[in-house]
Amino acid sequence: MSGAPLERRGRKMATSLFIQIETLPAGKALVDVDKLTHAVPEGEGSRLFLGVQHIDVPHSLSELESVLAGRDRNDDGENSRAGVGVR
Tens of pLDDT along the chain (87 residues) come to 444 443 444 555 567 788 888 888 888 988 888 889 999 999 889 999 998 899 999 989 988 888 877 788 888 777 655 555 555
Cβ proximity of 18 and 34 under 8 Å? no
Within 8 A by CB and 6+ apart from 84, the residues are none
Domain ranges of the chain: 23-76
pTM: 0.65
| Angle at CA of residue 76, ends 53 and 44, nearest 5° | 45
